[in-house]
Amino acid sequence: MIQIAILGFGTVGTGVAKVIAENPRQIERKLGEPLEVKSILVRHFKDGPFRQLMTDDFSKIEEDGDIRVVVEAIGGVEAAYDYTRRALSAGKHVVTANKQLVAEKGCELLALARKKNVSYLFEASVGGGIPILHPLTQCMAANRIDEVYGILNGTTNYILTRMVRAGASFADALAEAQKKGYAEADPTADVDGIDAGRKICILADLAFGRQVDPERVPMAGIRDLSLRDVKIARRAGYRVKLLGRAARTAGGGHTAYVAPHLISEDSPLAGVEDVFNAVVVKGNATGEVMFYGRGAGELPTASACVADVMEVLQQSPRREEIGWSPESGGFTDPLELESRHYFRIRGSLSDAVGAFGQAEVLDEDGGTAFLTDAMTGREALERSGALEVLACLRVLA
């Protein structure tokens, strides 16, 4: 019998307990022994089938030599960081879906895990149920990774889909996403691009092997996105999606950011709707590889957590050996990246042409919506300086 503990009993913690309770035979067949949840750390005791496993005293878990793996499902940084360090220091493997903690402290926690000869795994922190970190760092290990981008937040993708397809209001669509357990405890992290930003930092850390400081990564969400621009883009053959993007830049640097983009309707990402996420990885040997699936929700996220638990117990190659240097140099402003840009201005086509030389007009009803040629974000900003800009979005190449 292998025993584990779960810290926190919200969406992810509950999902982990359920997956272990519902799939005992599949798990035992792969581990060679049954897997059992011995303790669940909670702040408030809740009635239900797991009531007798609950404790509010972390030291009981920390000191219990029978508990080999701790699933940290508290979220946030403070208590989660403290308990993760204590669990690793006590020689226990730690598995988590906590993207904030991994984005901010992952490199340090991996170093502590290495020192203690245990593992710190966090597959569920990016893409919910989609296997992405393991394929990125293991299956694509022979590549130089040049770019990673994708739809990384299920809540905002759900909101955009419901607004466009069902005409739902922003507030109603957000309430539905919360009810389904997709949103963060504070959904502003979803809506304002911060959740996707933490995920793109983790992807960039692993893709480029260097710590990317979330503080330096520009994160824009969908709060200011106008349905008008979504509709103009749609008529022109584009979809608007919130993307996280990390790329190598000229001169050996790298960059990362989150922003809404126009995506051609021919792109596989354009058809990614509802809570689904998709991540595209560009390797120099593989070319583009896309990963697609449910990016949030109780059971998909728990599936990735329990798989990590099983991996540390099977003693497969240890992923904390991945080169992730605490050195944070080389970060470049994403304004240096080139792309076409979508603008909607209060002005005429000749104003647009005056600023940009040429413009592909998309709409001229009460202003002008147009696409520019490819140029850096900085040049687009400078050229549009004298225009009254109502909307500006990058177009994914």
Sign of CA dihedral 68, 74, 80, 83: negative
Nearer of residues 120 and 122 to ligand HSE, judged by Cβ: 122
Separation of alpha carbons 52 and 31, rounded Å: 25
List all residues 6 or more positions away from 304 whose beta carbon is below 8 Å from its beta carbon.
Answer: 97, 123, 124, 127, 128, 129, 130, 131
Q: Which tokens hold the place of 385?
A: 């300086």
**Residue 147 CB, nearest distance to ligand HSE (Å)?**
21
- Chain residues that interact with ligand HSE, rule: CB under 6 A: 128, 153-155, 182-184, 190, 195, 295-296
Residue number with CB closer to ligand HSE (296 or 307):
296
Q: Which is nearer to ligand HSE, 137 or 156 (CB)?
A: 156
- Give least dist CB 154 to ligand HSE, A: 4
| Shortest distance, position 91 Cβ to ligand HSE, whole Å | 29
Contact partners, residue 299, CB within 8 Å, separation at least 6: 15, 18, 19, 129
Instruction: State which residue, 50 or 122, has the beta carbon closest to ligand HSE.
Output: 122
Residue 208 and residue 184: Cα distance in Å, rounded? 27
Q: Whose Cβ is closer to ligand HSE: residue 35's or residue 196's?
A: 196
Give every CB contact of residue 240 below 8 A, 6+ residues apart in sequence.
Answer: 160, 225, 229, 230, 233, 234, 260, 261, 262, 263, 393
Q: Of 240, 236, 246, 291, whose CA–CA distance to 262 is shortest? A: 240
Active site residue: 38, 92, 99, 199, which one?
Answer: 199
Terminal Cα distance for the chain, rounded: 52
Evaluate whether 184 touches 190 at the Cβ level (below 8 Å). Answer: yes
Q: Which is nearer to ligand HSE, 192 or 195 (CB)?
A: 195
CB of 184 vs ligand HSE, minimal distance in Å = 4
**Min dist. Cβ of residue 289 to ligand HSE (A):** 21
**Cα angle vertex 57, ends 55, 63, to 5°?**
105
Pull the structure tokens for residue 54. Answer: 């609950």
User: Is 199 a known active-site residue?
Assistant: yes
Residue type at 41?
A: L
**Left if phi > 0, otherwise alpha if psi is -120 to 50, otherwise beta: which for 48?**
left
* Residues with a known catalytic role: 199
